[in-house]
């Protein structure tokens, strides 16, 4: 794969060099020092460190695991350039490298607009070019349920946009394996109890009936008062935990609207019985805690959006909280880490919000640990994610909206804290954007200019 990225079509012919170079790299020798983990899936604790020495006649790439090899191959491919005469050149280099944060993610949303498998695979390629290692797959939502469940086939039969807008078990496996070969974890998100309108189409009795004038008129969030709800969730998440090999499942838990619960007489009675009064956040927490227990019995870890923490749900140790609300997010980081929970930062990196100009500079300037807290608290920040929500995004504009804006976030999450220069970053990103375009990624320009070696 990387031979092709470096040399492309030049495998077919050799351009004559206009001058003789005394030193030649004859070979790139790759060695894995410890157990390679070649047959395994990447995880939050995967070792991605590597060392690279480029010196004639043999360049050496060493890593403890195969994950470091993948990152080192990407670096080596970025060191090679072609001069005006077509000669491939690489500067002598000695590099020792490892990521600053272990979780470096991209969120894609396949519910608001269906994304073809081909589009997802191309996104995984681009992620590898930028050393991202987590695909956060927000696979279902109110609008559609494209995940084809073998346990509950009616969920996608009735909840997808159409029967051709689904991800079959084979396609899901293809995405997971394609990601694995690039050192990328796939974390699915099945967001509940809100964002579940499409679930109700294929699972009768799951959603709460909303009342108006003593009559049920519509349906709202999942009904948290019924035993049948948790029996369904156990079976569904048992399947999900088997299909997706990663240790974590994202459970959502954001933006639950309480009006429907409030209107329902059965829910009001349940609230009184439980002593919740009129505090519907307690009912939400009741639901979330039951779901967290289900995930725990399935031997998986949970990721939740920040509302779950904000509503004082009793979280199990190790539950990861994802911070997405931009207002006062530093204070939120302080609170969550003070309570001892690991954190993923997304608040400053919502790429679906676009503006005229070079907004990548704002993303690049973010310092993830810029909040008040002890060293122990800051170690609980496991990384961040660039989120590209799909209300206005499908295959036609996903790539240029993501890249190279997400590349700036990728560098922030990989590189050392003191790598801060916007001017240096601009020069690197301009070159890298052209590199991505050459590799078939429709990355938009950072500013005016042009790319060498890109076909007219």
Would you name the residues annotated as active-site residues? 255
SS3 per-residue string spanning the chain: CHHHHHHHHHHCCCCCCCCCCCCCCCEEEEEECCCCCCCCCCCCCCCCCEEEEECCCEEEEEECCHHHHHHHHHHHHHHEEECCCCCEEECCEEEEECCCCCEEEEEEECCCCCCCHHHHHHHHHHHHHCCCCEEEEECCCCCCCCECCCCCCHHHHHHCCCCCCCECHHHHHHHHHHHHCCCCEEEEECCCCCCCHHHHHHCCCCEEEEEECCEEEEEEEECCCCHHHHHHHHHHHHHHHHHCCCCEEEEECCCCCCHHHHHCHHHHHHHHHHCCCCCHHHHHHHHHHHHHHHHHHCCCEEEEEHHHHHCCCCCCCCCEEEECCCCCHHHHHHHHHHCCCCEEECCCCECCCCCCCCCHHHHHHCCCCCCCCCHHHHCCEEEEEEEECCCCCCCCCHHHHHCCHHHHHHHHHHCCCCCCCHHHHHHHHHHHHHHHHHCCCCCCCCCCCCCCCCCC
Main-chain dihedrals φ then ψ at residue 64, nearest 5 degrees? -70, -35
Bond into 430 cis (ω within 30): no
CB within 8 Å of 375: residues ≥ 6 apart: none
């Amino acid at each position: 794969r990387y031979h092709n990225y470096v040399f492309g079509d030049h495998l077919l012919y050799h351009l004559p060099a206009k001058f003789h170079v005394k030193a030649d790299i004859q070979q790139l020798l790759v060695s894995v020092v410890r157990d390679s983990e070649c047959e395994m899936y990447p995880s939050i604790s995967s070792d991605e460190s590597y060392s690279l020495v480029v010196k004639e006649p043999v360049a050496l790439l060493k890593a403890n695991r195969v994950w470091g090899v993948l990152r080192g191959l990407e670096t080596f491919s970025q060191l090679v350039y072609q001069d005006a005469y077509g000669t491939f050149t690489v500067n002598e280099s000695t590099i020792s490298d490892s990521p600053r944060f272990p979780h470096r993610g991209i969120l894609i949303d396949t519910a608001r607009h269906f994304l073809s498998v081909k589009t997802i695979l191309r996104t995984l390629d681009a992620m590898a070019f930028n050393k991202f290692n987590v695909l956060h797959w927000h696979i279902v939502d109110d609008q559609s349920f494209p995940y084809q469940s073998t346990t509950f086939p009616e969920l996608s039969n009735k909840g997808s946009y159409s029967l051709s807008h689904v991800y079959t078990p084979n396609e899901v496996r293809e995405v997971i394996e394609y990601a694995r070969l690039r050192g990328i974890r796939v974390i699915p998100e099945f967001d509940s109890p809100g964002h579940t309108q499409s679930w109700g189409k294929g699972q009768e009795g799951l959603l709460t009936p909303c009342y108006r004038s003593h009559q049920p008129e519509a349906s709202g969030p999942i009904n948290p008062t019924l035993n049948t709800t948790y029996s369904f969730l156990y079976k569904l998440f048992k399947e999900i935990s088997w299909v997706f090999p990663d240790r974590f499942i994202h459970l959502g838990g954001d933006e639950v609207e309480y009006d429907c619960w409030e209107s329902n007489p059965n829910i009001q009675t349940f609230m009184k019985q439980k002593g919740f009064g009129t505090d519907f956040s307690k009912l939400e927490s009741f639901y979330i805690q039951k779901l967290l227990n289900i995930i725990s019995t399935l031997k998986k870890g949970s990721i939740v959006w920040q509302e779950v923490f904000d509503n004082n749900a009793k979280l199990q140790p190790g539950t990861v909280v994802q911070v997405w609300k931009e207002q006062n997010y530093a204070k939120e980081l302080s609170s969550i880490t003070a309570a001892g929970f690991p954190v993923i930062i997304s608040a400053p990196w919502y790429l679906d919000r676009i503006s005229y100009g070079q907004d990548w500079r704002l993303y690049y300037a973010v310092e993830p640990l810029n909040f008040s807290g002890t060293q122990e608290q800051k170690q609980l920040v496991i990384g961040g994610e660039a989120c590209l929500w799909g209300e206005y995004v499908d295959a036609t504009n996903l790539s240029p909206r993501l890249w190279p804006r997400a590349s700036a976030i990728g560098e922030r999450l990989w590189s050392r804290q003191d790598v801060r220069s916007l001017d240096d970053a601009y020069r690197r990103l301009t070159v890298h954007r052209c590199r991505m375009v050459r590799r078939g990624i429709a990355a938009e320009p950072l500013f005016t200019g042009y790319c060498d070696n890109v076909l007219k």
